[in-house]
Amino acid sequence: MKWNYVTHMTCRRRRSLSLVQQKGTKEFIEMKRSYHGQMSESFVVGILLCLCGGFQDAYTYVCRDKVFANAQTGNIVLLGNHLAQQDWSGAVRYAVPILAFTAGIFVAQKVHFHFGKSEKIHWRQLVLLLEIVVLFAAGFFPIGMSLPANALISFSCAMQVDSFRKIRGNAMATTMCIGNLRSATDLWCAYTETKDKKTRQRSLQYYSFILVFAIGATLGGIVTDAVGVHAVWICCIGLLISFLIMFIQEEVRDFEKLEADQKLQLELGTLADELKDIGREIKRCLGSGKIEK
């Protein structure tokens, strides 16, 4: 008996795949209805966080001894400059925010580690609560005590930049612009070659967040000049709004990836069934000794 398995399995695969696809279509429709995402990566939360990030940088530069709360690269450069001049007090002024930034990343990771699977509240909401408390405390320090205030703000910034890394699936920084500017320009260059609308949309999204950050910095400078050290409390309001928004579940509208994943699962399931049938057929033929070359 000749083993003509290819024709048999091709027909069987078509029938089984058709049945699975019919069943999968209904499941996929339900998936589209029920699939939701966390608002921590939403466009709205990203805008609020970018506004606060720009505001904090302007605040610390204007009334906190020209220290950058978010851009630690600038602080490291200025630290090296003061060390070269043997200005130890000036070096400390920039070293403290750098150390506080490091501590903020450590704490954010600890929060993620211990509360990452919490169902009652998202771990990023806990980070926002910590930020609010820290920034509120920083607003009480007078101008003559800028060192601890800068440390608290850098600590808060580090927790934010470590916890909120994506906006709508795109890697995004809400407290600085260098990475966003690079990504925006890379994508725009790719768009000029491919004319892909999604690439253009992603590029414009990065540019829009850079603009929002600049708006936040502008507002930070204006409000700080008018209010003084208490201006940082404005950021607490923005973070509180973000915290409340995150109780909402955002519906994910990009179903193309979901559909591709669904088709892949169907194909893999059918392939697994084929492999099982091949194994059973080989065992049966070996047992009967009827395989002909």
What DSSP character marks residue 249? E
Q: What is the CATH number of the domain that holds 192?
A: 1.20.1250
278 found inside a domain: no
pLDDT of residue 250: 55
Q: Residues in the chain with pLDDT < 50?
A: 1-10, 12-13, 16-21, 23, 26, 28-35, 252-255, 293
Percent of the chain with pLDDT over 70: 80
Comparing CA positions, the residue from 85, 89, 86 lying closest to residue 65 is 89
Kindly tell me the sign of the dihedral angle through the C-alpha atoms of 211, 216, 219, 220. negative
Residue with tokens 């091709």: 10
pLDDT of residue 289: 63
103 found inside a domain: yes
76 found inside a domain: yes
Alpha carbon 194 to its chain centroid, in Å, reads 26
**Would you state the structure tokens that stand for residue 81, as one six-digit string?**
């400059």
90 found inside a domain: yes
Longest dimension (CA), the chain: 95
15 found inside a domain: no
Strand-pairing partners, residue 36, are 251
Taking CA atoms, 244 is separated from 47, 121, 126, 134, 168, in Å, by: 15, 11, 11, 18, 18
What DSSP character marks residue 252? P
Q: Which domain range does residue 115 map to?
A: 36-254
Percent of the chain with pLDDT over 90: 54
Comparing CA positions, the residue from 219, 244, 241 lying closest to residue 231 is 219
Comparing CA positions, the residue from 213, 242, 218 lying closest to residue 54 is 213
pLDDT of residue 67: 82
262 found inside a domain: no
Rama region for 86: left / alpha / beta (φ>0; ψ in -120 to 50; rest): left
Other Cβ atoms less than 10 A from the Cβ of 132: the count is 20
What DSSP character marks residue 2? -
4 found inside a domain: no
3-state DSSP call for residue 289? Answer: coil
The number of domains in the chain is 1
pLDDT of residue 258: 54
pLDDT of residue 38: 64
E strand intervals along 69-138: none
Task: Kindly report, residue by residue over 228-249, the tens digit of the pLDDT.
Answer: 999 999 999 999 999 999 888 6
